[in-house]
Structure 1
Protein backbone atom coordinates (compact mmCIF):
# COMPACT_ATOMS: atom_id res chain seq x y z
CA UNK A 1 0.00 0.00 0.00
CA UNK A 2 2.86 2.35 0.70
CA UNK A 3 3.82 2.18 -2.97
CA UNK A 4 0.33 2.75 -4.32
CA UNK A 5 -0.21 6.05 -2.55
CA UNK A 6 2.79 7.85 -4.08
CA UNK A 7 1.74 6.61 -7.52
CA UNK A 8 -1.79 7.85 -6.96
CA UNK A 9 -0.51 11.26 -5.85
CA UNK A 10 1.79 11.43 -8.85
CA UNK A 11 -1.13 10.71 -11.17
CA UNK A 12 -3.17 13.44 -9.53
CA UNK A 13 -0.31 15.89 -9.94
CA UNK A 14 0.13 14.99 -13.60
CA UNK A 15 -3.61 15.43 -14.18
CA UNK A 16 -3.60 18.78 -12.38
CA UNK A 17 -0.62 19.99 -14.39
CA UNK A 18 -2.32 18.91 -17.61
CA UNK A 19 -5.44 20.86 -16.68
CA UNK A 20 -3.39 23.94 -15.78
CA UNK A 21 -1.47 23.62 -19.03
CA UNK A 22 -4.70 23.40 -21.01
CA UNK A 23 -5.95 26.58 -19.39
CA UNK A 24 -2.62 28.31 -19.96
CA UNK A 25 -2.68 27.36 -23.63
CA UNK A 26 -6.27 28.28 -24.42
CA UNK A 27 -6.84 30.44 -27.46
CA UNK A 28 -4.58 30.69 -30.48
CA UNK A 29 -1.05 29.33 -30.69
CA UNK A 30 1.75 31.39 -32.24
CA UNK A 31 5.47 30.88 -32.67
CA UNK A 32 8.18 33.10 -31.21
CA UNK A 33 8.51 35.14 -34.38
CA UNK A 34 11.64 36.17 -36.24
CA UNK A 35 14.84 36.15 -34.17
CA UNK A 36 16.33 38.66 -36.60
CA UNK A 37 14.45 41.40 -34.74
CA UNK A 38 17.05 41.13 -31.95
CA UNK A 39 19.39 43.09 -34.22
CA UNK A 40 17.26 46.21 -33.66
CA UNK A 41 17.15 47.59 -30.09
CA UNK A 42 13.51 47.59 -28.92
CA UNK A 43 13.96 50.67 -26.71
CA UNK A 44 15.41 52.66 -29.58
CA UNK A 45 12.56 51.69 -31.89
CA UNK A 46 9.92 52.55 -29.28
CA UNK A 47 11.56 55.93 -28.71
CA UNK A 48 11.48 56.65 -32.43
CA UNK A 49 7.84 55.57 -32.56
CA UNK A 50 6.92 57.87 -29.67
CA UNK A 51 8.63 60.81 -31.38
CA UNK A 52 6.89 60.24 -34.69
CA UNK A 53 3.55 59.65 -33.00
CA UNK A 54 3.87 62.98 -31.15
CA UNK A 55 4.73 64.70 -34.43
CA UNK A 56 1.70 63.15 -36.12
CA UNK A 57 -0.59 64.34 -33.34
CA UNK A 58 0.89 67.83 -33.50
CA UNK A 59 0.29 68.01 -37.25
CA UNK A 60 -3.30 66.81 -36.79
CA UNK A 61 -3.83 69.34 -34.01
CA UNK A 62 -2.56 72.17 -36.19
CA UNK A 63 -5.21 71.25 -38.77
CA UNK A 64 -7.95 70.91 -36.13
CA UNK A 65 -8.12 67.23 -37.07
CA UNK A 66 -7.25 65.76 -33.68
CA UNK A 67 -10.31 64.64 -31.73
CA UNK A 68 -10.62 66.51 -28.39
CA UNK A 69 -10.64 64.64 -25.09
CA UNK A 70 -14.43 64.92 -24.78
CA UNK A 71 -15.13 63.44 -28.21
CA UNK A 72 -17.70 60.59 -27.98
CA UNK A 73 -15.89 58.64 -30.71
CA UNK A 74 -12.56 58.99 -28.90
CA UNK A 75 -14.14 57.85 -25.64
CA UNK A 76 -15.58 54.89 -27.51
CA UNK A 77 -12.18 53.91 -28.88
CA UNK A 78 -10.48 54.29 -25.52
CA UNK A 79 -13.16 52.23 -23.83
CA UNK A 80 -12.55 49.37 -26.27
CA UNK A 81 -8.78 49.71 -25.83
CA UNK A 82 -9.12 49.55 -22.03
CA UNK A 83 -10.74 46.14 -22.39
CA UNK A 84 -8.21 44.77 -24.88
CA UNK A 85 -4.90 46.06 -23.51
CA UNK A 86 -4.93 44.05 -20.24
CA UNK A 87 -4.58 40.87 -22.32
CA UNK A 88 -1.63 42.13 -24.35
CA UNK A 89 1.07 40.74 -22.06
CA UNK A 90 -0.03 37.23 -23.05
CA UNK A 91 1.80 37.81 -26.31
CA UNK A 92 4.51 40.21 -25.13
CA UNK A 93 5.52 40.57 -21.49
CA UNK A 94 7.11 43.96 -22.16
CA UNK A 95 3.72 45.41 -23.11
CA UNK A 96 2.83 45.87 -19.44
CA UNK A 97 5.50 48.60 -19.32
CA UNK A 98 4.39 50.41 -22.47
CA UNK A 99 2.94 53.91 -22.24
CA UNK A 100 -0.19 53.20 -24.23
CA UNK A 101 -1.91 56.02 -26.08
CA UNK A 102 -4.93 56.09 -28.37
CA UNK A 103 -6.12 59.01 -30.45
CA UNK A 104 -8.60 59.72 -33.23
CA UNK A 105 -7.67 61.74 -36.30
CA UNK A 106 -10.21 63.34 -38.59
CA UNK A 107 -9.48 62.10 -42.10
CA UNK A 108 -11.20 60.42 -45.02
CA UNK A 109 -8.57 57.69 -44.89
CA UNK A 110 -9.69 54.17 -44.06
CA UNK A 111 -6.77 53.71 -41.72
CA UNK A 112 -5.61 52.67 -38.25
CA UNK A 113 -2.31 51.60 -36.71
CA UNK A 114 -0.47 50.72 -33.53
CA UNK A 115 3.18 51.68 -33.44
CA UNK A 116 5.85 49.95 -31.33
CA UNK A 117 5.35 50.78 -27.67
CA UNK A 118 1.55 50.96 -27.91
CA UNK A 119 0.91 54.20 -29.81
CA UNK A 120 -2.52 53.75 -31.44
CA UNK A 121 -4.39 55.96 -33.89
CA UNK A 122 -7.66 55.52 -35.74
CA UNK A 123 -8.88 57.68 -38.61
CA UNK A 124 -12.51 58.76 -38.73
CA UNK A 125 -12.84 57.52 -42.31
CA UNK A 126 -12.42 53.94 -41.12
CA UNK A 127 -15.16 54.19 -38.50
CA UNK A 128 -17.61 56.40 -40.39
CA UNK A 129 -17.36 55.05 -43.93
CA UNK A 130 -17.63 51.44 -42.83
CA UNK A 131 -20.10 52.21 -40.00
CA UNK A 132 -18.13 49.96 -37.68
CA UNK A 133 -19.74 48.35 -34.66
CA UNK A 134 -17.82 48.08 -31.38
CA UNK A 135 -17.09 44.44 -32.17
CA UNK A 136 -15.67 45.36 -35.58
CA UNK A 137 -13.57 48.16 -34.10
CA UNK A 138 -12.21 45.66 -31.59
CA UNK A 139 -11.18 43.33 -34.43
CA UNK A 140 -9.29 46.14 -36.17
CA UNK A 141 -7.74 47.33 -32.92
CA UNK A 142 -6.75 43.82 -31.91
CA UNK A 143 -5.08 43.34 -35.28
CA UNK A 144 -3.10 46.57 -35.04
CA UNK A 145 -2.08 45.96 -31.43
CA UNK A 146 -0.98 42.48 -32.47
CA UNK A 147 1.51 43.98 -34.93
CA UNK A 148 3.13 45.86 -32.05
CA UNK A 149 3.02 42.92 -29.63
CA UNK A 150 4.54 40.54 -32.15
CA UNK A 151 7.19 43.18 -33.04
CA UNK A 152 6.59 42.91 -36.75
CA UNK A 153 7.99 46.40 -37.39
CA UNK A 154 11.17 45.56 -35.51
CA UNK A 155 11.64 42.37 -37.53
CA UNK A 156 10.86 44.05 -40.85
CA UNK A 157 13.35 46.85 -40.20
CA UNK A 158 16.01 44.31 -39.24
CA UNK A 159 15.37 42.33 -42.42
CA UNK A 160 15.42 45.48 -44.52
CA UNK A 161 18.68 46.64 -42.98
CA UNK A 162 20.20 43.19 -43.39
CA UNK A 163 19.31 43.21 -47.07
CA UNK A 164 20.44 46.77 -47.65
CA UNK A 165 23.69 47.07 -45.71
CA UNK A 166 24.56 43.54 -44.64
CA UNK A 167 24.53 41.64 -41.38
CA UNK A 168 28.09 42.67 -40.58
CA UNK A 169 27.31 46.36 -40.55
CA UNK A 170 24.18 45.82 -38.47
CA UNK A 171 26.34 44.04 -35.95
CA UNK A 172 28.63 47.07 -35.80
CA UNK A 173 25.72 49.46 -35.39
CA UNK A 174 23.64 47.49 -32.90
CA UNK A 175 26.10 45.03 -31.36
CA UNK A 176 28.44 45.29 -28.41
CA UNK A 177 26.95 48.50 -27.12
CA UNK A 178 28.22 50.42 -30.17
CA UNK A 179 25.01 52.08 -31.24
CA UNK A 180 26.63 54.89 -33.19
CA UNK A 181 24.55 58.02 -33.71
CA UNK A 182 21.29 57.03 -32.02
CA UNK A 183 19.59 60.30 -32.89
CA UNK A 184 20.10 59.76 -36.60
CA UNK A 185 19.19 56.11 -36.30
CA UNK A 186 16.01 57.01 -34.44
CA UNK A 187 15.03 59.51 -37.12
CA UNK A 188 15.69 56.94 -39.83
CA UNK A 189 13.69 54.23 -38.10
CA UNK A 190 10.90 56.58 -37.06
CA UNK A 191 10.59 57.96 -40.55
CA UNK A 192 9.82 54.49 -41.85
CA UNK A 193 7.24 53.34 -39.32
CA UNK A 194 4.05 54.79 -40.78
CA UNK A 195 4.89 53.65 -44.30
CA UNK A 196 6.23 50.24 -43.32
CA UNK A 197 4.73 47.38 -45.29
CA UNK A 198 4.28 44.09 -43.48
CA UNK A 199 4.53 40.71 -45.15
CA UNK A 200 1.48 38.55 -45.73
CA UNK A 201 2.78 36.25 -43.03
CA UNK A 202 2.91 39.16 -40.57
CA UNK A 203 -0.60 40.22 -41.51
CA UNK A 204 -2.00 36.73 -41.07
CA UNK A 205 -0.23 36.46 -37.72
CA UNK A 206 -1.76 39.76 -36.60
CA UNK A 207 -5.20 38.62 -37.73
CA UNK A 208 -5.03 35.52 -35.55
CA UNK A 209 -3.63 37.26 -32.48
CA UNK A 210 -6.11 40.11 -32.94
CA UNK A 211 -9.04 37.69 -32.89
CA UNK A 212 -7.71 36.23 -29.65
CA UNK A 213 -7.32 39.64 -28.00
CA UNK A 214 -10.78 40.84 -29.06
CA UNK A 215 -12.43 37.63 -27.88
CA UNK A 216 -10.73 37.75 -24.47
CA UNK A 217 -11.96 41.33 -24.09
CA UNK A 218 -15.54 40.21 -24.69
CA UNK A 219 -15.91 41.26 -28.32
CA UNK A 220 -17.45 38.87 -30.80
CA UNK A 221 -14.71 37.45 -33.06
CA UNK A 222 -17.37 36.66 -35.69
CA UNK A 223 -17.32 40.40 -36.35
CA UNK A 224 -14.16 39.71 -38.33
CA UNK A 225 -16.36 38.24 -41.05
CA UNK A 226 -18.71 41.23 -41.22
CA UNK A 227 -15.73 43.61 -41.06
CA UNK A 228 -14.09 42.10 -44.10
CA UNK A 229 -17.31 42.01 -46.05
CA UNK A 230 -17.59 45.74 -45.39
CA UNK A 231 -13.96 46.22 -46.41
CA UNK A 232 -14.52 44.39 -49.69
CA UNK A 233 -17.68 46.34 -50.41
CA UNK A 234 -16.05 49.71 -49.66
CA UNK A 235 -12.99 48.97 -51.76
CA UNK A 236 -14.65 47.30 -54.73
CA UNK A 237 -13.04 43.96 -53.94
CA UNK A 238 -9.56 45.41 -53.37
CA UNK A 239 -8.21 46.09 -49.88
CA UNK A 240 -7.42 49.69 -48.86
CA UNK A 241 -3.84 50.83 -49.37
CA UNK A 242 -2.95 50.22 -45.74
CA UNK A 243 -3.91 46.58 -46.20
CA UNK A 244 -2.34 46.06 -49.60
CA UNK A 245 -0.18 43.18 -48.43
CA UNK A 246 -3.02 41.37 -46.73
CA UNK A 247 -4.50 38.15 -48.04
CA UNK A 248 -7.61 38.70 -50.18
CA UNK A 249 -10.79 39.38 -48.24
CA UNK A 250 -12.34 36.06 -49.22
CA UNK A 251 -9.25 34.18 -48.01
CA UNK A 252 -9.27 36.19 -44.81
CA UNK A 253 -12.90 35.36 -44.10
CA UNK A 254 -12.23 31.66 -44.63
CA UNK A 255 -9.28 31.81 -42.22
CA UNK A 256 -11.33 33.68 -39.61
CA UNK A 257 -14.08 31.09 -39.86
CA UNK A 258 -11.49 28.33 -39.51
CA UNK A 259 -10.12 29.95 -36.36
CA UNK A 260 -13.45 30.64 -34.67
CA UNK A 261 -13.50 27.34 -32.73
CA UNK A 262 -10.28 28.45 -31.02
CA UNK A 263 -11.51 31.89 -29.96
CA UNK A 264 -15.28 31.55 -29.46
CA UNK A 265 -14.80 29.85 -26.05
CA UNK A 266 -12.74 32.88 -24.98
CA UNK A 267 -15.53 35.21 -26.04
CA UNK A 268 -18.21 33.14 -24.32
CA UNK A 269 -16.16 33.01 -21.13
CA UNK A 270 -15.60 36.77 -21.22
CA UNK A 271 -19.31 37.40 -21.64
CA UNK A 272 -20.14 35.15 -18.69
CA UNK A 273 -17.67 37.04 -16.51
CA UNK A 274 -18.86 40.53 -17.40
Structure 2
Protein backbone atom coordinates (compact mmCIF):
# COMPACT_ATOMS: atom_id res chain seq x y z
CA UNK A 1 0.00 0.00 0.00
CA UNK A 2 3.00 2.33 -0.16
CA UNK A 3 2.86 5.07 2.47
CA UNK A 4 -0.71 4.14 3.27
CA UNK A 5 0.13 0.62 4.32
CA UNK A 6 -1.76 -0.46 7.45
CA UNK A 7 1.31 -1.21 9.54
CA UNK A 8 1.22 -3.79 12.28
CA UNK A 9 2.93 -2.66 15.51
CA UNK A 10 4.42 -5.55 17.46
CA UNK A 11 7.51 -6.56 19.40
CA UNK A 12 8.79 -10.09 19.78
CA UNK A 13 11.11 -9.79 22.77
CA UNK A 14 9.20 -11.53 25.56
CA UNK A 15 7.67 -14.04 23.16
CA UNK A 16 10.99 -15.56 22.15
CA UNK A 17 11.35 -17.47 25.41
CA UNK A 18 8.03 -19.30 24.86
CA UNK A 19 8.58 -20.48 21.30
CA UNK A 20 8.72 -24.15 20.41
CA UNK A 21 10.54 -25.37 17.32
CA UNK A 22 8.75 -28.07 15.33
CA UNK A 23 7.76 -29.09 11.80
CA UNK A 24 5.15 -27.45 9.58
CA UNK A 25 1.53 -28.51 9.70
CA UNK A 26 -1.27 -27.67 7.30
CA UNK A 27 -4.14 -25.86 9.03
CA UNK A 28 -7.30 -24.00 8.12
CA UNK A 29 -7.65 -21.07 10.52
CA UNK A 30 -11.09 -19.96 9.31
CA UNK A 31 -14.22 -21.22 7.63
CA UNK A 32 -14.47 -20.30 3.95
CA UNK A 33 -17.47 -17.98 4.25
CA UNK A 34 -19.52 -16.86 1.26
CA UNK A 35 -16.36 -15.41 -0.33
CA UNK A 36 -14.71 -18.82 -0.46
CA UNK A 37 -11.39 -18.34 1.34
CA UNK A 38 -10.23 -21.97 1.45
CA UNK A 39 -6.43 -21.83 1.19
CA UNK A 40 -4.60 -24.23 3.48
CA UNK A 41 -2.01 -22.49 5.63
CA UNK A 42 1.26 -23.89 6.94
CA UNK A 43 2.25 -23.15 10.52
CA UNK A 44 5.60 -24.42 11.71
CA UNK A 45 5.02 -24.44 15.44
CA UNK A 46 7.74 -21.82 15.86
CA UNK A 47 5.18 -19.85 17.78
CA UNK A 48 1.87 -21.01 19.17
CA UNK A 49 -1.37 -19.10 18.73
CA UNK A 50 -1.63 -18.71 22.51
CA UNK A 51 1.90 -17.35 22.91
CA UNK A 52 1.40 -14.86 20.10
CA UNK A 53 -1.85 -13.61 21.59
CA UNK A 54 -0.27 -13.24 25.03
CA UNK A 55 2.58 -11.20 23.61
CA UNK A 56 0.18 -9.11 21.54
CA UNK A 57 -1.84 -8.30 24.65
CA UNK A 58 1.29 -7.20 26.51
CA UNK A 59 2.49 -5.04 23.64
CA UNK A 60 -0.97 -3.56 23.14
CA UNK A 61 -1.21 -2.60 26.81
CA UNK A 62 2.24 -1.04 26.64
CA UNK A 63 1.30 0.94 23.56
CA UNK A 64 -1.94 2.14 25.18
CA UNK A 65 -0.06 3.22 28.30
CA UNK A 66 2.38 5.19 26.20
CA UNK A 67 -0.42 6.82 24.21
CA UNK A 68 -2.27 7.67 27.41
CA UNK A 69 0.83 9.28 28.91
CA UNK A 70 1.24 11.36 25.77
CA UNK A 71 -2.40 12.42 25.77
CA UNK A 72 -3.07 10.52 22.52
CA UNK A 73 -5.46 7.77 23.63
CA UNK A 74 -9.16 8.11 22.80
CA UNK A 75 -8.94 11.90 22.94
CA UNK A 76 -12.11 12.45 20.89
CA UNK A 77 -14.96 10.73 22.71
CA UNK A 78 -17.39 10.88 19.78
CA UNK A 79 -14.77 9.51 17.39
CA UNK A 80 -13.91 6.70 19.79
CA UNK A 81 -17.56 5.73 20.26
CA UNK A 82 -18.04 5.68 16.51
CA UNK A 83 -15.06 3.39 15.92
CA UNK A 84 -15.96 1.08 18.80
CA UNK A 85 -19.59 0.77 17.72
CA UNK A 86 -18.60 -0.14 14.16
CA UNK A 87 -15.97 -2.60 15.38
CA UNK A 88 -18.39 -4.33 17.74
CA UNK A 89 -20.84 -4.95 14.91
CA UNK A 90 -18.05 -6.51 12.86
CA UNK A 91 -16.75 -8.57 15.78
CA UNK A 92 -20.25 -9.99 16.26
CA UNK A 93 -19.94 -11.54 12.79
CA UNK A 94 -16.44 -12.99 13.26
CA UNK A 95 -17.88 -16.34 14.35
CA UNK A 96 -19.04 -16.97 10.78
CA UNK A 97 -15.37 -17.45 9.92
CA UNK A 98 -13.99 -18.48 13.27
CA UNK A 99 -16.24 -19.53 16.20
CA UNK A 100 -13.44 -19.44 18.77
CA UNK A 101 -12.95 -15.70 18.11
CA UNK A 102 -15.99 -15.11 20.33
CA UNK A 103 -13.71 -15.95 23.28
CA UNK A 104 -11.00 -13.48 22.28
CA UNK A 105 -10.51 -10.50 24.57
CA UNK A 106 -11.29 -7.90 21.92
CA UNK A 107 -10.25 -4.28 22.52
CA UNK A 108 -10.76 -1.22 20.32
CA UNK A 109 -9.12 2.19 20.72
CA UNK A 110 -8.36 5.31 18.70
CA UNK A 111 -4.84 6.73 18.67
CA UNK A 112 -4.45 10.45 18.05
CA UNK A 113 -1.90 10.30 15.23
CA UNK A 114 -1.87 11.80 11.74
CA UNK A 115 -0.97 8.50 10.04
CA UNK A 116 -3.56 6.93 7.76
CA UNK A 117 -3.34 3.69 9.66
CA UNK A 118 -5.24 0.92 11.41
CA UNK A 119 -4.35 -2.55 12.63
CA UNK A 120 -5.55 -5.57 14.57
CA UNK A 121 -3.06 -7.59 16.57
CA UNK A 122 -3.43 -11.33 17.16
CA UNK A 123 -6.29 -12.02 19.53
CA UNK A 124 -8.33 -8.97 18.53
CA UNK A 125 -6.38 -5.92 19.74
CA UNK A 126 -7.54 -3.12 17.42
CA UNK A 127 -6.32 0.44 16.91
CA UNK A 128 -7.52 3.05 14.44
CA UNK A 129 -5.50 6.22 13.93
CA UNK A 130 -7.26 9.57 13.92
CA UNK A 131 -5.36 10.47 10.75
CA UNK A 132 -7.29 7.82 8.84
CA UNK A 133 -10.56 9.39 9.92
CA UNK A 134 -9.52 13.01 9.53
CA UNK A 135 -7.71 12.69 6.21
CA UNK A 136 -9.96 10.20 4.43
CA UNK A 137 -13.23 11.37 5.98
CA UNK A 138 -14.67 7.86 5.66
CA UNK A 139 -18.35 7.05 5.92
CA UNK A 140 -19.35 4.45 8.50
CA UNK A 141 -19.49 1.90 5.68
CA UNK A 142 -15.95 2.78 4.56
CA UNK A 143 -14.63 2.69 8.11
CA UNK A 144 -16.22 -0.75 8.49
CA UNK A 145 -14.29 -1.84 5.39
CA UNK A 146 -11.02 -0.75 6.99
CA UNK A 147 -11.66 -2.36 10.36
CA UNK A 148 -13.09 -5.50 8.78
CA UNK A 149 -9.94 -5.85 6.69
CA UNK A 150 -7.74 -5.66 9.78
CA UNK A 151 -9.92 -8.06 11.76
CA UNK A 152 -9.61 -10.51 8.86
CA UNK A 153 -5.79 -10.49 9.18
CA UNK A 154 -6.17 -11.55 12.83
CA UNK A 155 -8.80 -14.21 12.10
CA UNK A 156 -6.54 -15.77 9.46
CA UNK A 157 -3.48 -15.53 11.75
CA UNK A 158 -1.47 -13.96 8.96
CA UNK A 159 1.19 -12.75 11.39
CA UNK A 160 1.84 -16.28 12.68
CA UNK A 161 1.86 -17.63 9.16
CA UNK A 162 4.44 -15.06 8.05
CA UNK A 163 6.71 -15.99 10.95
CA UNK A 164 6.42 -19.67 10.07
CA UNK A 165 7.30 -19.06 6.44
CA UNK A 166 10.11 -16.68 7.31
CA UNK A 167 11.82 -19.07 9.66
CA UNK A 168 11.35 -22.13 7.46
CA UNK A 169 12.70 -20.29 4.41
CA UNK A 170 15.64 -18.42 5.89
CA UNK A 171 16.93 -20.85 8.49
CA UNK A 172 15.46 -24.20 7.53
CA UNK A 173 13.65 -26.40 10.00
CA UNK A 174 16.58 -28.81 10.26
CA UNK A 175 18.86 -25.95 11.32
CA UNK A 176 16.30 -24.63 13.77
CA UNK A 177 15.95 -28.02 15.38
CA UNK A 178 19.67 -28.05 16.12
CA UNK A 179 19.66 -24.60 17.74
CA UNK A 180 18.83 -24.47 21.41
CA UNK A 181 18.70 -22.06 24.34
CA UNK A 182 19.31 -18.34 23.99
CA UNK A 183 20.52 -18.64 20.38
CA UNK A 184 17.17 -20.14 19.34
CA UNK A 185 15.31 -17.41 21.16
CA UNK A 186 17.41 -14.73 19.49
CA UNK A 187 16.91 -16.19 16.00
CA UNK A 188 13.18 -16.56 16.45
CA UNK A 189 12.83 -13.15 18.04
CA UNK A 190 14.68 -11.53 15.16
CA UNK A 191 12.41 -13.24 12.65
CA UNK A 192 9.30 -12.06 14.46
CA UNK A 193 10.59 -8.52 14.64
CA UNK A 194 11.33 -8.57 10.91
CA UNK A 195 7.86 -9.88 10.10
CA UNK A 196 6.01 -7.47 12.33
CA UNK A 197 8.00 -4.29 11.75
CA UNK A 198 9.51 -4.61 8.28
CA UNK A 199 7.85 -7.05 5.93
CA UNK A 200 4.58 -6.10 4.26
CA UNK A 201 1.70 -8.50 4.05
CA UNK A 202 1.81 -10.74 0.99
CA UNK A 203 -0.57 -10.29 -1.93
CA UNK A 204 -2.35 -13.45 -0.83
CA UNK A 205 -2.84 -12.15 2.70
CA UNK A 206 -4.13 -8.81 1.44
CA UNK A 207 -6.61 -10.44 -0.93
CA UNK A 208 -7.87 -12.74 1.81
CA UNK A 209 -8.27 -9.82 4.21
CA UNK A 210 -10.15 -7.84 1.56
CA UNK A 211 -12.51 -10.74 0.90
CA UNK A 212 -13.20 -11.67 4.51
CA UNK A 213 -13.33 -8.05 5.65
CA UNK A 214 -15.88 -7.15 2.99
CA UNK A 215 -18.08 -10.08 3.95
CA UNK A 216 -17.85 -9.18 7.64
CA UNK A 217 -18.98 -5.65 6.79
CA UNK A 218 -21.89 -6.87 4.66
CA UNK A 219 -23.07 -9.26 7.37
CA UNK A 220 -22.83 -6.44 9.92
CA UNK A 221 -25.13 -4.25 7.81
CA UNK A 222 -22.53 -2.08 6.07
CA UNK A 223 -22.68 -1.55 2.32
CA UNK A 224 -19.89 -3.66 0.78
CA UNK A 225 -19.51 -1.19 -2.08
CA UNK A 226 -17.82 1.07 0.46
CA UNK A 227 -14.70 -1.09 0.20
CA UNK A 228 -14.41 0.15 -3.38
CA UNK A 229 -14.90 3.83 -2.54
CA UNK A 230 -12.49 3.50 0.37
CA UNK A 231 -9.70 2.34 -1.92
CA UNK A 232 -10.54 5.02 -4.44
CA UNK A 233 -9.91 7.52 -1.65
CA UNK A 234 -6.70 5.71 -0.73
CA UNK A 235 -5.50 5.82 -4.32
CA UNK A 236 -6.25 9.54 -4.57
CA UNK A 237 -4.39 10.28 -1.36
CA UNK A 238 -1.37 8.22 -2.39
CA UNK A 239 -1.37 9.14 -6.07
CA UNK A 240 2.12 9.43 -7.47
CA UNK A 241 3.74 7.67 -4.51
CA UNK A 242 2.78 4.03 -5.04
CA UNK A 243 5.32 1.79 -6.80
CA UNK A 244 4.37 -0.19 -9.93
CA UNK A 245 2.54 -3.39 -9.07
CA UNK A 246 5.37 -5.65 -10.18
CA UNK A 247 7.65 -3.95 -7.63
CA UNK A 248 5.17 -4.32 -4.79
CA UNK A 249 3.99 -7.22 -2.69
CA UNK A 250 0.52 -5.69 -2.66
CA UNK A 251 -2.06 -5.49 -5.42
CA UNK A 252 -2.08 -2.13 -7.17
CA UNK A 253 -5.03 0.12 -6.26
CA UNK A 254 -6.63 -0.52 -9.66
CA UNK A 255 -6.32 -4.28 -9.32
CA UNK A 256 -7.56 -4.15 -5.76
CA UNK A 257 -10.56 -2.01 -6.68
CA UNK A 258 -11.51 -4.39 -9.50
CA UNK A 259 -11.38 -7.37 -7.16
CA UNK A 260 -13.36 -5.53 -4.49
CA UNK A 261 -16.08 -4.72 -7.00
CA UNK A 262 -16.48 -8.45 -7.66
CA UNK A 263 -16.49 -9.24 -3.93
CA UNK A 264 -19.01 -6.49 -3.18
CA UNK A 265 -21.41 -7.91 -5.75
CA UNK A 266 -20.90 -11.38 -4.34
CA UNK A 267 -21.81 -10.43 -0.76
CA UNK A 268 -24.46 -7.82 -1.59
CA UNK A 269 -27.30 -10.30 -0.81
CA UNK A 270 -25.90 -10.62 2.73
CA UNK A 271 -26.05 -6.85 3.15
CA UNK A 272 -29.53 -6.60 1.64
CA UNK A 273 -30.74 -9.22 4.08
CA UNK A 274 -29.75 -6.92 6.95
CA UNK A 275 -31.78 -4.10 5.37
CA UNK A 276 -34.97 -6.14 5.39
CA UNK A 277 -35.16 -6.44 1.60
Structure 1 residues 14-54: Cα deviation after superposition (integer angstroms, max 9, x where no partner): xxxxxxxxxx9862111143123554310011111111111
Which of 160, 163, 166 matches 2:169? 163
Partner of 2:223: 220
Contact kept? 1:49, 1:193, Cα under 8 Å: no
1:236 has 2:239 as partner: yes
Structure 1 residues 162-183: Cα deviation after superposition (integer angstroms, max 9, x where no partner): 1232213555789xxx999889
Q: CA RMSD in A?
A: 2.9
Q: Residue 120 of structure 1: CA displacement?
A: 0.3
Partner of 1:98: 104
Higher RCO structure, 1 or 2 (CA under 8 Å, sep 6+): 2
Contact kept? 2:163, 2:191, Cα under 8 Å: no
Which of 259, 263, 277 matches 1:255? 259
Contact kept? 1:136, 1:227, Cα under 8 Å: yes
The DSSP-based 3-state class of the residue aligned with 2:37 is coil
Gaps of 5+ in 2: 1-30
Contact kept? 2:32, 2:38, Cα under 8 Å: no
Which of 15, 36, 45 matches 2:52? 45
Structure 2 Cα separation of the partners of residues 124 and 108 of structure 1: 6
Task: Assess, with a 3 A threshold, how the Cα gap between structure 1 residues 167 and 253 changes in structure 2: closer, same or farther.
Answer: same
Structure 2 Cα separation of the partners of residues 97 and 84 of structure 1: 15
Gaps of 5+ in 1: 1-23
Task: Assess, with a 3 A threshold, how the Cα gap between structure 1 residues 184 and 43 changes in structure 2: closer, same or farther.
Answer: farther
Partner of 1:18: none
The DSSP-based 3-state class of the residue aligned with 1:272 is coil
TM-score, normalising length: structure 2:
0.78
Task: Assess, with a 3 A threshold, how the Cα gap between structure 1 residues 112 and 245 changes in structure 2: closer, same or farther.
Answer: farther
Partner of 1:211: 214
1:148 has 2:151 as partner: no
Contact kept? 2:109, 2:126, Cα under 8 Å: yes
Structure 2 Cα separation of the partners of residues 48 and 186 of structure 1: 12
Structure 1 Cα separation of the partners of residues 33 and 152 of structure 2: 17
Task: Assess, with a 3 A threshold, how the Cα gap between structure 1 residues 193 and 50 changes in structure 2: closer, same or farther.
Answer: farther
Contact kept? 1:103, 1:122, Cα under 8 Å: yes
Task: Assess, with a 3 A threshold, how the Cα gap between structure 1 residues 92 and 53 changes in structure 2: closer, same or farther.
Answer: same
Q: Residue 245 of structure 1: CA displacement?
A: 3.7
Q: Residue 82 of structure 1: CA displacement?
A: 1.2
Compare CA radii of gyration and give the structure with the larger one: 1
Structure 1 Cα separation of the partners of residues 264 and 275 of structure 2: 16
1:123 has 2:129 as partner: yes
Structure 1 residues 132-151: Cα deviation after superposition (integer angstroms, max 9, x where no partner): 11000000011000000011
Alignment map for 1:27-46 (pairs within 5 Å): 27-36=34-43, 38-46=45-53
Partner of 1:59: 66
Worse overlay, 181-190 or 155-164: 181-190
